[in-house]
Structure 1
């Protein structure tokens, strides 16, 4: 019976030791975690920093690495720069979601632009597929569209000298000599109402160079074309004033400009027009390639032009060497 109390005392001591060790272990645990975290401080500073390269330590002469618990025991607080860095690390996931949405929008816009470009290219090909009339070096012309085209020269300025625009000697007309191939050369005049004929024109019977006329679908292929129109000077069967011209060259080509000049001259006896028509031949060809028409009203610009009219006919292939022709294919 005496031994029992000693046994109980032993068990009590063991129990007390076990309880004390667990409480001391739990109490010491947070202290060891705090001691494991290394922070950076200065000798006289009031704050501690998580990073050695924090901008708050840029001007410090010496920096010491201590445990977090040591820093707190000294009464140091966390620096503001370290707080900002810790706060910035969290919202990284939201930015990634926004970037994915933007990339999807860019892909859709690129596809729409590519479709528009392809439609433009197709329309451009259709425009360029139209056929244009061709001029061959052999002296033949293949006419394309039926529309007659006139080319404006020198911005429509005729370029006559002041001396030839003088009206002191009154109206006059001059025709160049025929060349070695009996072709007409430039015709010049200072036109006035006095030169205009009053009698009806007689039928033309002389044949200029390259005259090989024939019937086509639209009528006669060629006309005996006056360089200076009959209604302006009254010159008719004058080989120096005639060339072989297509119907298109004669009308609507030259007659359009001749009618404007005639209307201006008829309006007043004081109206004068300096006038020049030049047939354009190439090498020894007998059929003119076209004519150059120049006109300038004296004292005004009511009549003023400088144009080139081609000697062509729609749907016909002309041989400018001799004036022969055939239907264009």
Structure 2
């Protein structure tokens, strides 16, 4: 009897263990199903997000295309005039709209083959002051031989429109050289000076002058044809801007044709006489 009871207990124990084993395996399978379903949901969600992003990208591309078409159709004349018509009258009539330097004639300087001749070596010339005493132009075939070795002295000539004053960033105006002193050594030459804002003089004009100076110093055989023209509107005494053209001879290491507006952030300039108002 006792032996039978032990057998029964043993059998019951085995059933119990089997049951426990089965019950423990079921949650594992169910958990796997749940995890698989969770991954599927995440994948579906990401797929929807991906489709939405593709749709947004397509919309943006369509808008960009439409805007380019709009600019081409409606502003072609405006941008074409700003970048290709190099006549003094056209540049003088341009108004500053937030970009201080703009490209002229696709950045191609307008020099003839004769202009770029090096037959006579380096040279520099300065146009006469006009009937209003304004600087007119400066031309040169630059070479390291023209570059000064002496330190620049202080300037005393007051160009037209010279009504200087201090603003928060320093002096409003500089006596701006048409051709920078470091390139030719010309200093207190009235024909080479104009009233320019600090930002016109530096960094805008100076950045181009530094590029030229670096190129010239690389070899005594390097030449750069250079022209700088202050641009006035009518009889105004303060230039609206300055056009700078440069072409290295025999290569295109230095090549630009730009117009820089004579403006200063936070200051309203009266171009008739050079007076100004902050704010």
Report the RMSD for the aligned CA atoms in angstroms: 2.4
Equivalent residues of 1:142, 1:317 under 8 A apart: no
Number of the residue aligned with 2:254: 303
CA distance, structure 2, for counterparts of residue 327 and residue 263 of structure 1:
36
Q: Structure 2: any 5+ residue segments left out of the alignment?
A: 1-51, 61-91
Residue 186 of structure 1 and its aligned partner are, at CA, apart by: 1.0
Number of the residue aligned with 1:254: 205
CA distance, structure 2, for counterparts of residue 142 and residue 233 of structure 1:
31
CA distance, structure 2, for counterparts of residue 174 and residue 313 of structure 1:
29
What TM-score results when the alignment is normalised by the length of structure 2? 0.66
CA distance, structure 2, for counterparts of residue 208 and residue 288 of structure 1:
11
1:1-329 equivalent positions in 2, closer than 5 A: 149-328=100-279
Residue 149 of structure 1 and its aligned partner are, at CA, apart by: 2.6
Equivalent residues of 1:286, 1:323 under 8 A apart: yes
Number of the residue aligned with 2:48: none
- Counting matched residue pairs gives 193
Equivalent residues of 1:142, 1:315 under 8 A apart: no
More helix by share: 2
Deviations 1:118-169 (A, max 9, x none): x99xxxxxxxxxxxxxxxxxx9x99886xx6310011110021001111110
Equivalent residues of 1:285, 1:321 under 8 A apart: yes
CA distance, structure 2, for counterparts of residue 308 and residue 144 of structure 1:
13
Moved over 3 A (4+): 141-145
Q: Which has the higher contact order (CA 8 A, sep 6+)?
A: 2
- Higher Cα radius of gyration: 1
CA distance, structure 2, for counterparts of residue 168 and residue 224 of structure 1:
33
Q: Structure 1: any 5+ residue segments left out of the alignment?
A: 1-111, 121-138
CA distance, structure 2, for counterparts of residue 290 and residue 201 of structure 1:
25
Equivalent residues of 2:96, 2:261 under 8 A apart: no
What TM-score results when the alignment is normalised by the length of structure 1? 0.56
CA distance, structure 1, for counterparts of residue 137 and residue 162 of structure 2:
19
Specify whether residues 296 and 142 from structure 1 end up closer, same or farther in structure 2 by C-alpha distance, changes over 3 A only. closer
CA distance, structure 1, for counterparts of residue 239 and residue 203 of structure 2:
17
CA distance, structure 2, for counterparts of residue 151 and residue 182 of structure 1:
27
Deviations 1:35-86 (A, max 9, x none): xxxxxxxxxxxxxxxxxxxxxxxxxxxxxxxxxxxxxxxxxxxxxxxxxxxx
